[in-house]
Amino acid sequence: MEISGNIIQILPLQSGEGKNGVWKKQDFVIETESQYPKKVCISMWGDRIDESVLQVGNNVTASIDVESREYNGRWYTDVKAWKIEATGTAQSPESSAPAEIPAAMEGEDDLPF
């Protein structure tokens, strides 16, 4: 599966030591670009973490796996990225600002009522 969007938040890097050695995990939040944007928190593990691509404002496409597991009668869902690619330039605050209405059109609208 793939999901594309704009990185809106990068959570702190988590790391630790397990029975198989040192591990690290990076969570980040993508907002999709659609009529009804969705926010999705995605995890990357180990050597797959590409800090040059993971920057707030970057447009990316993440190849993901979605998996659910049961623990003590409750279900938990993970979204794990196994590849992430930059798909465009970073979005600047000016580019997401609404366009200004020309002075000649102020007060006019196309509504019939």
- Host domain of residue 87: 2-91
Tens of pLDDT, residues 24-70 = 999 999 999 989 999 999 999 988 887 888 899 999 999 999 999 99
Q: What are phi and psi of 8, to 5 degrees?
A: -105, -15
Domain count, the chain: 1
How many alpha carbons lie under 13 Å from residue 92 in its C-beta half-sphere?
A: 2
Q: 29-43 burial, b if ≥16 CB within 10 A, otherwise e?
A: bbeeeeeeeeeeebb
- pLDDT reported for residue 53: 87
pLDDT greater than 50 at residue 77: yes
- pTM greater than the 0.85 cutoff: no
Q: At 8, which CATH number?
A: 2.40.50.140
pLDDT exceeding 70 applies to what percent of the chain? 78
CA 85 vs. chain centroid, Å, equals 12
Indicate whether 12 belongs to any domain: yes
Using DSSP, state whether 79 is helix, strand or coil.
Answer: strand
